[in-house]
Amino acid sequence: MKTRITEMLGIEHPIIQGGMMWVGRAELASAVSNAGGLGIITALTQPTPEDLVKEIARCRDMTDKPFGVNLTILPSINPPPYEEYAQAAVDSGIKVIETAGRSPQDFMPLFNEAGIKVIHKCTSVRHSLKAQSIGCAAVSVDGFECAGHPGEDDITNLVLLPLAASRLSIPMVASGGIGTGTQMAAAFALGAEAVNMGSRFVATQEAPVHENMKQAMVEGDERQTTLMFRSLRNTARVFRNSVSEEVVRIEAQPGDTDFSDLQPLVSGARGRERCIEAGDVDDGIWTVGQVMGLIDDIPTCEELIQRMVAECESVIRDRLNSML
């Protein structure tokens, strides 16, 4: 199964593991890459740029296959040293960087000089075209189904993917809500040349999260997510529990939302320590997509990727051909 994405990245299967805060570590990235996909280390999960260098080296000890680094660039009161993280990835010889959040335009000269392929995650056609115009090698188009930040347009992939494909000349990766080979075949039919998965890779044996979180994804269904931060125009799709429902309740009150009322509930440290590490899935905020409804087991990354590829090939070869 060859596409422009597999040729560009030097990978066997057109499957990419998305960058995920606290989850995109060497254990998961190397497992995905060893299985023939593209694993991604999340830069900002590491406390410092120096720690990112060490994590990249650790991943190289676990795989000799290509892997990349995610750099999510978001406005904040006390922003992390994005330039230093970017330089750390460059100095470590990384050749694929997934960017998200703000446009990576300011970083493109650095990345281009190092021969890095940039895949920018976009939630709209207009952002995809902007990424193309500044020299990104590909875009990862993220539909409304996704975990985390789906943008503010609320466009699902069934519409968003073919729209973007019709206007782009660079390759497109389908992201958001994907977890099966049937969906991968559908994404290809809509113009994608690879798929990007976050939530589905969290529910694998190698993902560095508590088993309770993985089991909650197996037991949950497609309705067990909620959208918070809508009032702040920074919409995020997260697991529906008492904490996220309290956030939504506060946002629904008359008047402007005061973020200080939400901060103790939505603290990233709380979600990491209580949910991801301690396994209390109801005592903090953690992101997951609607694909949760399609997650029924906790395989290894290799089992998941092999199953998806076989299913995708079967759909294309048998089910679709039989209709002609």
pTM to 2 decimals? Answer: 0.96
The CATH number, out of the four listed (3.40.47.40, 3.40.50.1000, 3.20.20.70, 3.20.20.80), of the domain defined by the range 4-206+300-323 = 3.20.20.70
Q: How confident is the model at residue 221 (pLDDT cuts 50, 70, 90)?
A: very high
The mean per-residue pLDDT over the stretch 287-309 comes to 98
For helices 26-34 and 49-62, the axis angle rounded to 10 degrees is 40
Helix runs in the chain, H state only: 4-9, 26-34, 49-62, 82-91, 108-113, 125-133, 157-167, 181-189, 199-202, 211-219, 242-251, 259-266, 268-270, 301-314
Secondary structure of residue 189 in the 3-state scheme: helix
Shortest CA distance to 268 belongs to which of 16, 72, 69, 17?
72
Query: What residues contact residue 322 under an 8 Å CB cut-off, 6+ apart?
Result: none
User: DSSP per residue over 78-114, as a string?
Assistant: S---HHHHHHHHHHTT--EEEEEES--GGGHHHHHHT
User: Are the C-beta atoms of 15 and 308 separated by less than 8 Å?
Assistant: yes
Per-residue pLDDT reduced to its tens digit, 146-171: 999 999 999 999 999 999 999 999 99
**The pLDDT value given to residue 324:** 87
Task: Tell me: pLDDT of 229 over 80.
Answer: yes
Per-residue pLDDT reduced to its tens digit, 73-95: 987 778 999 999 999 999 999 99
User: Are the C-beta atoms of 172 and 191 separated by less than 8 Å?
Assistant: yes
Residue 284: what are its φ and ψ, rounded to 5°?
175, 180
What residue ranges do the domains of the chain occupy? 4-206+300-323, 211-290
Residue 202: what are its φ and ψ, rounded to 5°?
-65, -35
In DSSP terms, which residues pair with 96 in a beta bridge? 117
